[in-house]
A and B are shown apart, each in its own frame.
Chain A
Amino acid sequence: MIPRYQKILFAVLLLGSLVMGLVLWQLRERAHQRLIAGQDLAPTSAPEVAPAEPATLMVASDSDGSLLAQLHSLPLPADSGARARAVLAKLLDLYAASDSSHPVPGGGSAVLQVFLLPAPAVAANPHAASPPQEQSQTGPLLAVVNLSGSFAAGHPSGIETEMLTVLSICGTLHANLPRVTEVRFLVDGQPRSTLAGHADLTRTYLTGDAPASQGAQP
């Protein structure tokens, strides 16, 4: 004859075992779900690389103070702002190279952002013939180039060298994005009086300021 308290103890232990088994099974299911979810996040296809396209860079030369158009092939994003940043990054990479005709340290990382906005002349004219939305899609653009503070601090000082940097940036933007007609500069997101003591960064530059020059392959 089994005592009653042993029967109760056996029933409790059996119930506990069943509950623990259930909990264990649920934990296993959750771990399995997490594993499956992780597998879903894993890259299953290679990222699409933008196809290489020809880009015109207005490359400055300190020796004769000129800008020379050079054709380069580089992957360019579809978005206009990212495209502008990519061509300027390439231009500043050329300047940072050891054999540069216009040596400026910093490289492509010096271009923090390029913002494209409707040019003020268009934005300020609400009575224009075409609707504002259409104007913003086809009208002239103002490019705001945000450069890094380290780039400005490390830029060689001088009227010619600073103006060449500014004009080559303006010319390169216009050559690849013809709608860009005006350019303004920020340094670390703030207005700055000059690039490195000479070239005025408070004004709006017209892309027509950049002198025309002959094309060349690098």
Chain B
Amino acid sequence: MAGAFALIVVSTQPSFAQPAPPAPQARFVVVLDAAHGGDDTGGRLANGELEKTLTLALSVRLRSLLQARGIQVVVTRDADGTVEPDQRAEFANHLQAQACLSLHATESGSGVHLFTSSLAPAASARLAAWKTAQSAWITRSLALAGALNSALQQAGMNVTLGRASLPTIDSMTCPAVAIEIAPDLNAGHPALGGLDDPQYQARVAAAVAAALVEWRAEARQP
């Protein structure tokens, strides 16, 4: 018995002759979900553009920014096709992503609206119900929303934080936030701050990318 104990102690000692290999860098994947698509057009925006078109454009823009910063990005759609909410969540859950962002646009309100699931936080369970799978991730989702909020406010944007019941987000098993872009009514000029303003879109995308870089740094901290 004593011999066995000694053996265990010896086997757990680090070897000084050969340094331990560095721990592999944790994989960091971001899922971008351009909401709507195909038959589901989403809302109609002031300039006649459809929400599905704007969310796809924003997804493409954000993917470029994130890939340029060395972040692996996977999108739920890169064309105008129908993707059901359950399919989007299945896709994100298979990837075990570190951040899942659902992109939306609206003419109501002002600035950027950040929504996390309205489910009550729950302990992680081996088997989670599909419609409430996000409940185990609420704390991390709120932290991600906080990081996005900081970056967007630093970029001078008006941010509204809220909780919502959204079928896609509620089934995701990753830190998940719905980002809804509304016109920036504080832009100071009627031609600026509209949803069709490329500069406004670029500002939002840059702020979101900065937040995800910060989120990655936080995730890699021991």
- Chain B residue numbers with a CB within 8 Å of A163 are 115, 162, 164-165
Q: A63-B109, A65-B109, A197-B36 are in contact. Are A159 and B170 (CB under 8 A)?
A: no
Q: Which 7 A-B pairs have the closest CB atoms?
A: A157-B43, A158-B106, A161-B108, A200-B165, A65-B160, A158-B108, A62-B109
Per the 8 Å Cβ criterion, residues 112-132 of B in contact with A are: 113, 115, 118, 131
Nearest opposing residue in chain B for A65, CB measure: B160
Q: How far is the CA of A161 from the CA of B131 in the complex (A)?
A: 23
Are A198 and B166 neighbours in the complex by a CB distance under 8 Å?
Answer: yes
Can you list 26 A-B pairs with a CB-CB distance of less than 8 A?
A: A62-B110, A63-B109, A64-B160, A65-B113, A65-B162, A157-B43, A157-B44, A157-B51, A158-B43, A158-B106, A158-B108, A158-B180, A159-B106, A159-B113, A160-B115, A161-B109, A163-B162, A163-B164, A163-B165, A193-B167, A194-B167, A198-B104, A199-B164, A200-B167, A200-B170, A203-B131
Greatest chain B CB density within 10 A among A157, A159, A196, A205 is at: A159
User: Does B107 belong to the interface (CB within 8 Å)?
Assistant: yes
Are B166 and A159 neighbours in the complex by a CB distance under 8 Å?
Answer: yes
Are B165 and A157 neighbours in the complex by a CB distance under 8 Å?
Answer: no
Q: How far is the CA of A65 from the CA of B43 in the complex (A)?
A: 19
Interface residue count on the A side (C-beta < 8 Å): 22
Question: Binding site of A, secondary structure by majority: helix, strand, loop or mixed?
Answer: loop
User: Does A53 belong to the interface (CB within 8 Å)?
Assistant: no
Interface residues of B (CB under 8 A from A): 36, 40, 42-44, 51, 104-110, 113, 115, 118, 131, 160, 162-167, 170, 178, 180, 182
Q: Which of B104, B107, B178 has a CB less than 8 Å from the CB of A156?
A: B107
Are B40 and A160 neighbours in the complex by a CB distance under 8 Å?
Answer: no
User: Does A29 belong to the interface (CB within 8 Å)?
Assistant: no
Nearest opposing residue in chain B for A157, CB measure: B43
Are B166 and A200 neighbours in the complex by a CB distance under 8 Å?
Answer: yes
Q: A159-B180, A160-B109 are in contact. Are A199 and B43 (CB under 8 A)?
A: no
Q: How far is the CA of A197 from the CA of B178 in the complex (A)?
A: 14
Q: Which of B109, B131, B170 has a CB less than 8 Å from the CB of A158?
A: B109
Nearest opposing residue in chain B for A194, CB measure: B167
- Bits for A181-202, please: 1 = Cβ < 8 Å to B, else 0: 0000000000001101111101
Greatest chain A CB density within 10 A among B40, B108, B115 is at: B108
19 new A-B contacts at CB < 8 Å, known A158-B106, A197-B40: A62-B110, A64-B160, A65-B113, A156-B43, A157-B42, A157-B44, A158-B109, A158-B180, A159-B162, A159-B178, A159-B180, A160-B109, A160-B113, A160-B115, A160-B164, A161-B108, A163-B162, A163-B164, A203-B131
